[in-house]
Amino acid sequence: MVYSRTQSEERTWKRGFTLVELLVVITIIAILIALLLPAVQAAREAARRTQCQNNLKQLGLAILGHEEAQKFFPTGGWGYYWEGDPDRGFGRRQPGGWIFNVLPWMEQQSLRDIGSGETFEQKKISRIRLVQQPITICNCPSRRPPVLYPCVPGPWGPNVKYNMAYEQVSLVARGDYAMNCGSQPYSEVTNGPAPEVAPNGIDYEPASNFVWPRVDDPTNYQYHNGISYLRSMVRVADVSDGLSCTYLAGERYLNPDDYNTGLDGSDNSNMMTGYENDQYRCTYSPPRQDTPGVKHDDKNAFFGSAHNDGLNMAFCDGSVRWINYTIDPAIHKALGSRNGGEVIDAKKY
């Protein structure tokens, strides 16, 4: 028996997509993908922004935990020549800056204790472990992950002892958040020089006779009016403008070209040093978005972020608020001062 298709079956068997129909379908799919991608990217950035906010919230709580225990906000330490020392307390004898000092309130007590009880020479070695430990909440997920980054020499040259671990490592951990050092310009003068590591490498001899700048004297042109800076010990009572009207810490600006290079002068060190523009920023200039090709201004050390519309800033009352890049520069500057006497309307930022 020979089977033969009917005319209707013949038409059904021959029917299929034409090339034009196929191209139309592909075009529609491409359009849908093009419309969907921005939405997906926006959702991902919203999640990263929320994570960044949570990071800053935890850091803010750690800072306030330090203040509650020590009765002053974390000191800024001695400067970029030095990392933190677990045997020198939390006051002006402590060479390390704010991140080192709040480690116990970040559940990182063991990290702060590295080198405890060692000689100065031994600590120069143990500082390697200290500076090579990334901390997840110290990095903004919109910018870069918590991994190690190049430690690059500065303009002082290879023969200057930069800090205790500097000459021994090529990779270090870095953060994306900075404490507020005030509304004054940030410069090499207000940064404050610091004693170099002792030439013989056995003690803190250079620091014992060092004449420190009077950055806590209102009559001095080097005066700082922020929350943490060179050898600071700012108390809650010193924040006369109000805890809810004064920046505590926030995201810091960085040229995207140098996220991973260590070539930016404000991002070439490690998280555990004392007062320097890697960990401290001022409000003398308004905040700005990370912009390729735009170098950091060493004279101002401004806040900023990788986010599109603004940045997260923690306040001294423990809150974290979104600050637009379009904030009035005068208001932003006033929020950096702890005792300027300005009356600030929260609705304006």
Least reliable range by pLDDT among 88-92, 153-157, 200-204, 271-275: 153-157
Which stretch, 82-86, 150-154, 205-209, has highest mean pLDDT?
82-86
Q: Is the pLDDT of residue 166 over 70?
A: no
Averaged pLDDT for residues 315-328: 96
Amino acid in the structure at residue 152 = V
Averaged pLDDT for residues 307-331: 96
Q: Is the pLDDT of residue 90 over 50?
A: yes
Task: Kindly state the DSSP code that residue 127 receives in the 8-state scheme.
Answer: H
Task: For residue 49, name the pLDDT band (cuts at 50, 70, 90).
Answer: very high
Task: Give the SS3 label for residue 129.
Answer: helix
Tokens of residue 160, six digits: 């200057």
- How far lies 186's CA from each of 93, 230, 249, 288, 299, in Å? 23, 12, 15, 16, 5
Q: Is pLDDT larger for residue 194 or for residue 28?
A: 28
Q: Is the pLDDT of residue 7 over 70?
A: no
Contact 28, 286 (CB under 8 A): no
Amino acid in the structure at residue 300 = N
pLDDT score for 203: 65
Report the percentage of the chain scoring pLDDT > 90: 55
pLDDT score for 158: 34
> Taking the model in full, what pTM does it have?
0.84
Q: How wide is the angle at C-alpha 235 spanned by C-alphas 230 and 236, nearest 5°?
A: 135
Tokens of residue 19, six digits: 């090339």
**Sequential DSSP letters for 226-295:** SSS-TT----GGG-TT-GGGSEEEEEB---GGGTTT--STTSSS-TTBSSSTTTEEESSS--EE--TT--
Task: Kindly state the DSSP code that residue 303 receives in the 8-state scheme.
Answer: B
Q: How wide is the angle at C-alpha 61 spanned by C-alphas 56 and 65, nearest 5°?
A: 145
